[in-house]
Amino acid sequence: MIEMHWLQAMDYWHWWSLGIVFLIMEMLLSGVFFLWMAVAAGIVGVLVLLQPGMFWRYQFIWFAVITLVSLAAWHLYLRYAPAEASRTLLNRRAEQYVGRNFVLDEAIRNGFGRIQVDDSLWRVEGSDCPAGTRVSVVGTDGVVLKVAPLEACKSE
């Protein structure tokens, strides 16, 4: 029979060390598989800390069960969780501003003006209005935001 006395000496810090190794592997190989093995190793480490002297076979059984359960739960979550809304607007940045309200930085003259959106200026298209008018983004045309005034436009 193969000598396995070292397995009898498995302690909580061995499991936590193994969990850290799995986390490093997850960072290097990125597939979310090693993450759940790291979680399982951490949980088994806590179990061994709470139950010192746990037989090594039970430790490995707990590790296998927790790994499989966490992988199955992650798979179900990915399968039934709704897709993130932010991904639907990827590469269509202007569309994320539809429905938001802004203040005109530059007056709309001859149908075009500018608004400050977060850290950048965007070109807008709409009816002529002076700077300072509150507008709502109602649509897009490429990188041009189509706006409608929220209040009556005052003549300049």
Here the tokens at position 2 are: 């193969």
Radius of gyration of the chain (CA): 29
Q: CB of 84 within 8 A of CB of 62? A: no
Q: What is the pLDDT of residue 35?
A: 93
Provide the 8-state DSSP code for 41. Answer: H
The predicted model scores a pTM of 0.53
Residues 6+ apart with CB under 8 A from 131: 104, 105, 106, 107, 113
Here the tokens at position 9 are: 């000496």
In the chain the domains, ranked by start, together with CATH numbers, are 5-80 (no CATH), 93-149 (2.40.50.140)
Q: At what angle do helices 56-80 and 33-50 cross, to 10 degrees?
A: 140
Q: What is the pLDDT of residue 39?
A: 96
How would you write the pLDDT of the chain (156 residues) with one tens digit per residue?
A: 566 666 667 788 999 999 999 999 999 987 888 999 999 999 999 999 999 888 889 999 999 999 999 999 999 988 888 766 555 656 777 888 899 999 999 999 999 999 988 888 999 999 999 988 999 999 998 889 999 998 887 655
